[in-house]
């Protein structure tokens, strides 16, 4: 076993990333929560608000507050699930895709900084490690918790 405290180091890396993400979001006039919601919708078109919330580890209520301005701004649209008439599905609009596209060069610059001294093999290994950690965490159950905590 390594001596590294991964819980601590992962948090430190995430904290170190934040100012960069805040800057990217500020450039396109989004909050980080809004930008994250858009990028999740880009990956998973047609998910429900509650699934979007679950994937972002926030309560459905706070996700609704994040999504409402995006609906009003025409960056996201809702459709009815053809199989469950009462279920509403979320999609990026073309304007929403354009907002993400506007952020892309700045995001690419952050990605380059993250991998500044990585070889291609190391980048691939790092990606693999992160996705395995994510899978392990998704499979575990945090002791004494049912609700996931608020995030932003």
Query: Which residues are near a copy of itself by CB under 8 A?
Result: 1-2, 4-24, 26-27, 36, 39, 56-57, 106-107, 109-111, 113-118, 120, 122-127, 129-134, 136-138, 140, 142-145, 148-149, 151
Shortest distance, CB of residue 52 to a copy of itself, whole angstroms? Answer: 13
Cβ atoms of 31 and 123 within 8 Å: the answer is no
- Spatial distance between the Cα atoms of 134 and 29, rounded to a whole number of angstroms: 29
- Spatial distance between the Cα atoms of 102 and 108, rounded to a whole number of angstroms: 11
Nearest residue (CB) to a copy of itself, 94 versus 117: 117
Shortest distance, CB of residue 38 to a copy of itself, whole angstroms? Answer: 11
Shortest distance, CB of residue 42 to a copy of itself, whole angstroms? Answer: 10
Shortest distance, CB of residue 113 to a copy of itself, whole angstroms? Answer: 5
- Spatial distance between the Cα atoms of 69 and 115, rounded to a whole number of angstroms: 34
- Spatial distance between the Cα atoms of 29 and 24, rounded to a whole number of angstroms: 9
Nearest residue (CB) to a copy of itself, 3 versus 83: 3
DSSP 8-state assignment for residue 149 = P
- Spatial distance between the Cα atoms of 33 and 151, rounded to a whole number of angstroms: 9
Nearest residue (CB) to a copy of itself, 86 versus 145: 145
Nearest residue (CB) to a copy of itself, 88 versus 130: 130
Cβ atoms of 125 and 34 within 8 Å: the answer is no
């Amino acid at each position: 076993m390594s001596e590294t405290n991964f819980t601590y180091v992962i948090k430190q890396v995430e904290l170190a990333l934040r100012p960069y993400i805040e800057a990217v979001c500020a450039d396109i006039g989004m909050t980080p929560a809004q930008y994250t919601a858009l990028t999740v919708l880009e990956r998973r078109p047609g998910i429900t608000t509650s699934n979007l919330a679950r994937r972002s580890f926030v309560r459905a209520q706070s996700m609704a507050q994040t999504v409402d301005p995006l609906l009003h701004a025409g960056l996201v649209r809702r459709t009815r699930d053809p199989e469950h008439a009462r279920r509403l599905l979320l999609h990026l609009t073309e304007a929403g895709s354009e907002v993400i596209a506007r952020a892309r060069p700045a995001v690419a610059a952050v990605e380059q900084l993250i991998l500044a001294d990585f070889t291609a093999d190391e980048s691939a290994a790092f990606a693999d490690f992160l996705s395995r950690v994510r899978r392990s965490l998704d499979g575990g159950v945090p002791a004494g918790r049912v609700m996931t905590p608020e995030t932003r």
